[in-house]
Structure 1
Amino acid sequence: MILRFFGILAGLALPLSGLAQQTAKDTIHLYFLGGQSNMEGYGYTKDLPDSLDTTFENMYIFEGNPTDDEQPVGGQGVWEPLQPGHGTGFKSDGITNTHSDRFGIELSFAKKLQQYYPGQKIALVKYAKGGSSIDSLAAGRFGAWDPHYNGKNGINQYDHFLATLNNALTTKDLDSNGREDYLVPMGILWMQGESDGDKTEAIAQEYYQNLSQLMNLIRASLRTDDLPVVVGKISDSWNAPDGKVWDYGELVQYAQEKFAREDGNAAIIRSTRYYKYSDPWHYDSAGYIHFGEQFADAVYRLHE
């Protein structure tokens, strides 16, 4: 897995931020959105206000096709202007994107960024897989992001993420305006942890180490060691037969707080505890809209 990581990294087309920028290129801010289902997005597009139910100008997204562990490396996608339909159920074959009737944080995140960076072109690379854990021991049928995974074929969510990034960065002119793009990494947005918090206490206890390692590897894949990371804090709907949905969720929450406190360039969003739910596991539409705005505020402050 690690050897494959460096092999893929060597082929990335992302310019280093320290290199001289060529005036003929478009400067585009780049963000990665990753995690499990609450990053995938379960908001309903029918609930969107007019300001978000639109195709955004100067905002672009590449979403990698969600793929199970042990399957041939996925990450297929196509750059397109940001629009609704990039929530759960979104699919891509690398030629055509098939939108769903759902959305995640990406719309309100982009809208808020437009206020912070007027006129700035922004690119989002998204790869999220519902139910996925970091720890491979918690993967079940949903998959895991463990970079040391050596299962049947040795392919998991981490590989699919790297493939998504590689596929996205192969395109030199993502906005199709005839000029090559200069991509400046600006942040990692991470919403995940529920699936590491509902199996065993031992798995939940490992979350801080697993999260720290994974975030640093994602930073490395974007070639920016101190790239800001914003973590969404998991929450519990308390809508299960025995009450708690995530039996060891507090341990994961503690690990997320520790990461935000001890990492040199990270923040955490705590507003999730106040969101309403559309089912025991996922926030309602209003929650995703507010969540995206909070991500934008947090990552912007990390650049101040």
Structure 2
Amino acid sequence: MKNLKILFLLLIPTLFYTQKIRVFILAGQSNMNGFGYNKDLPNDSRTFKDVYIFQGNSVPDGDLSGGIGKWDLLKPGNGTGFKTNGKINSPSDRFGLEMTFAKRIKELFPNDKIALIKYAREGTSIDSLAASNFGCWDADFNGKNGINQYDNFLKTVKNALSEKDIDGNGKTDELLMSGILWMQGEGDASYNEDIANEYYGHLKTLMNQMRASVLTDDLPVVIGKISDSGKNEKGKVWPMGELVQYAQEKFVRDDKNSAIVRATQKYNYGNDPWHYDSAGYLDLGKQFADEVFRLIINFEKKD
């Protein structure tokens, strides 16, 4: 009997043990989705221990399959072309900033497991007037069948957080919300001055809604500053790019728990005028990791 009591006492920590997993949300449009080629990834940015990703299925407004997904170990293939039916993930030949973000954030938090929740959709805007056929992140936009991109995002987050054992080791996870990474704005810079001038207010509302969706009002937010390749006949791809850039800078000036990645201004582009080349995405992930780490340190000092 005495031995049974000792055994029970030894088992208590195992039975009730929870492990901390840092959670980061990755969202936006195509340059968040990622157009880097897997073949260009360095060997040290291909496989990771203790880094997991849930990528919500990216679909147009109104498609009921948006946001379904399945947790998996992070590996190449979560860029454009990634698909999932919620049971099987089908990686593509492309990657986004998640690869080098994971590498760098693990260097900065070596003792923590990392979980990434990703939902991104090419061409999408925040303003409903710029939605076109790509989709819109405005929570009040009815979209097709009453479903918009923010709805798909919420479904992604809900599905991801419904899993209580992300790494499948039989222990309940203690999820520590650590940051939102947002790379978007080109869609709103593609039209007219009126739409671009609304970007600041729309961005502020959306980031606060995303924070509220994970019950963390002052969660760190890192914005990727949009850039322009200049690769068209007019020398400017985004007609209102400067106004959106100004709005992004204003957001981080006004929001004390935010930061901006400006390195995008120096990136080269791939086979089109809209998306960075592989080297750009490799650097982008590192830049996001360094910025969000700085915010996290200050954020967690307050607690």
TM-score (norm 2): 0.92
Over 3 Å counting, the alpha-carbon distance change for 1:78 and 1:151 in structure 2 is: closer
Q: Which residue of 2 aligns with 1:256?
A: 248
Q: 1:287 aligned to 2:280?
A: yes
Q: Distance in 1 between matches of 2:142 and 2:274?
A: 29
1:79 corresponds to which of 71, 92, 110: 71
Q: Distance in 1 between matches of 2:85 and 2:185?
A: 28
Equivalent AA in structure 2 for residue 129 of structure 1: R
Q: Which residue of 1 aligns with 2:36?
A: 43
Q: Which residue of 2 aligns with 1:126?
A: 118
Q: Distance in 2 between matches of 1:193 and 1:26?
A: 36
Q: Distance in 2 between matches of 1:29 and 1:49?
A: 24
Q: Give the conservation status (yes or no) of the 8 Å contact 1:73–1:163.
A: no
Q: CA deviation at 1:93?
A: 0.3
Q: CA deviation at 1:242?
A: 1.3
SS at match of 2:53: strand
Q: Distance in 2 between matches of 1:26 and 1:191?
A: 30
Task: Provide, for residues 157-208 of structure 1, a one-character-per-residue CA deviation record: whole Å limited to 9, x for no partner.
Answer: 0000000001101111010000011101000000000000011110000000
Q: Which residue of 2 aligns with 1:53?
A: 46
Over 3 Å counting, the alpha-carbon distance change for 1:23 and 1:257 in structure 2 is: farther
Q: Give the conservation status (yes or no) of the 8 Å contact 2:57–2:65.
A: no
Q: Which residue of 2 aligns with 1:221?
A: 213
Equivalent AA in structure 2 for residue 289 of structure 1: L
Q: Which residue of 1 aligns with 2:175?
A: 183
Q: CA deviation at 1:73?
A: 5.2
SS at match of 1:70: coil
Q: Give the conservation status (yes or no) of the 8 Å contact 1:62–1:78.
A: yes
Q: CA deviation at 1:253?
A: 0.1
Unaligned ranges ≥5, structure 1? 1-21
Q: 1:104 aligned to 2:96?
A: yes
Runs of 4+ in 1 over 6 A off after TM superposition: none
Summarize the alignment of residues 153-172 of structure 1 with structure 2, pairs less than 5 Å apart. 153-172=145-164
Unaligned ranges ≥5, structure 2? 1-14, 298-303
Higher deviation after alignment, 187-196 or 142-151: 142-151
Structure number, greater radius of gyration? 2
Q: CA deviation at 1:150?
A: 2.1
SS at match of 2:45: coil
Q: CA deviation at 1:74?
A: 1.4
Q: Give the conservation status (yes or no) of the 8 Å contact 2:221–2:259.
A: yes
Q: Distance in 2 between matches of 1:156 and 1:253?
A: 24
SS at match of 1:184: strand
Q: Give the conservation status (yes or no) of the 8 Å contact 1:58–1:119.
A: no
Q: Distance in 2 between matches of 1:47 and 1:198?
A: 30
SS at match of 1:230: strand
Q: 1:195 aligned to 2:207?
A: no
Q: Give the conservation status (yes or no) of the 8 Å contact 2:99–2:285.
A: yes
SS at match of 1:140: coil
SS at match of 1:303: helix
Q: Which residue of 2 aligns with 1:205?
A: 197
2:18 corresponds to which of 8, 20, 25: 25
Q: Give the conservation status (yes or no) of the 8 Å contact 2:54–2:118.
A: yes
Q: Distance in 1 between matches of 2:142 and 2:109?
A: 42
Q: How many residues align?
A: 282
Sequence identity percentage: 59
Q: Which residue of 1 aligns with 2:6?
A: none
Q: Which residue of 2 aligns with 1:239?
A: 231
Q: Distance in 1 between matches of 2:44 and 2:178?
A: 24
